Chain A
Amino acid sequence: QQQVKQSPQSLIVQKGGISIINCAYENTAFDYFPWYQQFPGKGPALLIAIRPDVSEKKEGRFTISFNKSAKQFSLHIMDSQPGDSATYFCAALGGGGSYIPTFGRGTSLIVHP
């Protein structure tokens, strides 16, 4: 049972473009939604995270948009750069005393120069 559905599986963007990755969750008890960035041969690194009391959070070129009623959240990468090429994972956790994250299957992003 996949509780967090992530799309697209892969994404190709030109340098300077906007990359958008979407996630949908099922468990309404989730209350923390992080995004992780993983480069080949490395472990995932926390990129940005949001709680459901806000609809948007921005850190530099990275923005999370959160739609609680639709149970969806997305990552927007503005002015995408070749160095952003990596695999991105969304996750959801919290609620009911459990802080074990459920990860999406990942999106492989390639930014062409």
Chain B
Amino acid sequence: ETGVTQSPTHLIKTRGQQVTLRCSSQSGHNTVSWYQQALGQGPQFIFQYYREEENGRGNFPPRFSGLQFPNYSSELNVNALELDDSALYLCASSPQVNTGELFFGEGSRLTVL
């Protein structure tokens, strides 16, 4: 059974640029959530996708957007990067939508200069 995989693992961008992060969910999982984890903080919910539709969104501006594909993989896009966007971005998949069971990937570490 393949776990949640994310790419890239590390990346560096400059202010104003755009970034796309990718996530492959665990086999059999149809729900994907994205989290932002700043250094020394707990994960903050960005949004969740279920069956290719956004199924909930946290307190993040519209420049954070996402997609889920028919194979349940997902992308997180961030436009107009700001310094405060520097963080670990975590993807988590779940076997069904209304469950507390989250299976996290190892994250993508984004640094904005």
User: Using an 8 Å CB-CB cutoff, how does the interface string of B61-96 with A read, 1 for contact, 0 for none?
Assistant: 000000000000000000000000000001010000
Nearest chain B CB to A33 CB, angstrom units: 8
B56-A44 in contact (CB<8A): no
User: Using an 8 Å CB-CB cutoff, how does the interface string of A94-113 with B read, 1 for contact, 0 for none?
Assistant: 10011111111110000000
User: Using an 8 Å CB-CB cutoff, how does the interface string of B33-76 with A read, 1 for contact, 0 for none?
Assistant: 10000001111110010000000101000000000000000000
In the bound complex, residues from chain B placing their C-beta under 8 Å from that of A91 are 42, 100
Tally A residues with Cβ within 8 Å of B: 25
- B102 interface residue (CB < 8 Å to A): yes
A106 to B39, CA, bound (A): 11
A100-B4 in contact (CB<8A): no
Tally B residues with Cβ within 8 Å of A: 24
- A61 interface residue (CB < 8 Å to B): no
A109 to B104, CA, bound (A): 20
- B2 interface residue (CB < 8 Å to A): no
Inter-chain contact count A-B, CB under 8 Å? 58
For chain B, what secondary structure do more than half of its interface residues adopt (helix, strand, loop), or is it mixed? loop
A6 to B42, CA, bound (A): 10
User: Using an 8 Å CB-CB cutoff, how does the interface string of A78-100 with B read, 1 for contact, 0 for none?
Assistant: 00000000000101011001111
Nearest chain B CB to A9 CB, angstrom units: 9
In the bound complex, residues from chain A placing their C-beta under 8 Å from that of B40 are 105-106
B41-A101 in contact (CB<8A): no
A42-B106 in contact (CB<8A): yes
Nearest chain A CB to B19 CB, angstrom units: 19
Known A43-B107, A46-B102; contact A103-B42, beta-carbon cutoff 8 A? yes
A93-B42 in contact (CB<8A): no
Q: Tell me which of A42, A43, A99 contacts B98 (CB under 8 A).
A: A99
Q: Which of A36-84 contact B (CB under 8 A)?
A: 36, 41-46, 49
The 4 tightest CB contacts between A and B, nearest first, are A43-B104, A103-B42, A32-B100, A99-B98
B contact residues vs A (CB 8 Å cutoff): 4, 33, 40-45, 48, 56, 58, 90, 92, 97-107
